[in-house]
Structure 1
Amino acid sequence: MDLFDNFDPVWIWLAAGLALAALEMVVPGVYLIWLAAAAIITGALAFVLDLGVLFQVINFVFLALIMVYSAKRWLRDRPIESSDPLLNNRGGRMVGETAVVVAPIDGGEGRVKFGDSEWIARGPDCGAGTRVRITAAKGPILAVEPITAGANSDASSGTLTET
């Protein structure tokens, strides 16, 4: 006597679908929900059509492939937009901000202070204490340009301190 002889396959598919849906909430990513939906639909079809186990497995595989492929295309064509696209991009957040030169930029390279950190800076030559605007960031290197006397040095200078 087999352990699964007493279980109706419909309930096994529904339980597997609910388990996969619950696991989707724990595991990062958006892929288990499609397998969960395929399992639940397979369970519903097995209930209505009284399919054999082999056909249920084949149905599940095809439904899972169709759903995952469709979801992939849907999400590729309609990407999820972030409310803060620069959330994990520290360099991108610095672009447009002002910094203070702490080691003179000589020969195109020096050091600037932004916030509480010093960064390697590349840009036109300028002396220590000069306020510069960050134009780009690539890794630990900031591209800067001096702020001219007529330029608007806005409230972002409040985050910078000269030491």
Structure 2
Amino acid sequence: MPESLAPHILWLTVGVALCAAEMVVPGVFLMWLGIAALLTGLAAFLLPIGVALQLALFAVLALVCVFFGRRWTGSNVIPSDDPLLNDRLARLVGETAVTVTAIVDGEGRVRVGDSEWLAHGPDMPAGTRAKITGARGQTLLIEALHPATS
């Protein structure tokens, strides 16, 4: 068999290709398979093992690398510049809303910007300005804004 077609060269090539693909299609998954392929290529270079054993070794190393890789990435989360980016309700906390319907028995509707939301808070008439203090499910929690006294 020519040296260029040696199994370890193929494993190393596949490993590098998978790691490079991780840069093109990020998801932190292909990298772990690439590492498993690189380790399989190293083992195939150092040890005289057949193709069937190389495939089995790759399967085991892939499972181990993915398992430990996911644990590592889970415990080393990169902090976000905007952690509320995909949490629309949390982004509304602190904003001012106007009651669209009267809040009766703690339930009603408020307008925030161009959207209407279900709201829970103390009873207040329609048209009252309120501060959003939180959210429960898809319902905003509000409290009345009292006008400043002069």
TM-score of the alignment, normalized to the shorter chain, above 0.5 = yes
Shift of 1:28: 5.1
SS at match of 2:22: helix
Would you say the 8 A contact 1:91–1:138 is kept in 2? no
Gaps of 5+ in 2: none
Q: Report what 1:20 is aligned to.
A: 18
Q: Report what 2:109 is aligned to.
A: 111
1:66-145 to 2 correspondences below 5 Å: 66-145=64-143
4+ runs deviating over 4 angstroms:
none
CA RMSD of aligned residues (A): 2.4
Shift of 1:38: 1.0
Question: Per the alignment, do residues 72 and 140 of structure 1 end up closer, same or farther by CA in structure 2, a change over 3 Å counting?
Answer: closer
Q: Report what 1:147 is aligned to.
A: 145
Separation in structure 2 between the aligned mates of residue 73 and residue 22 of structure 1, nearest angstrom: 22
Would you say the 8 A contact 1:104–1:127 is kept in 2? yes
Q: TM-score, normalised by structure 1?
A: 0.75
- Give the alignment partner of residue 41 of structure 2, picking from 43, 49, 70: 43
Give CA-to-partner distance per residue, 1:118-162, whole Å, 9 cap, x none: 2222211112221101122234421111012359xxxxxxxxxxx
Gaps of 5+ in 1: 1-5, 152-163
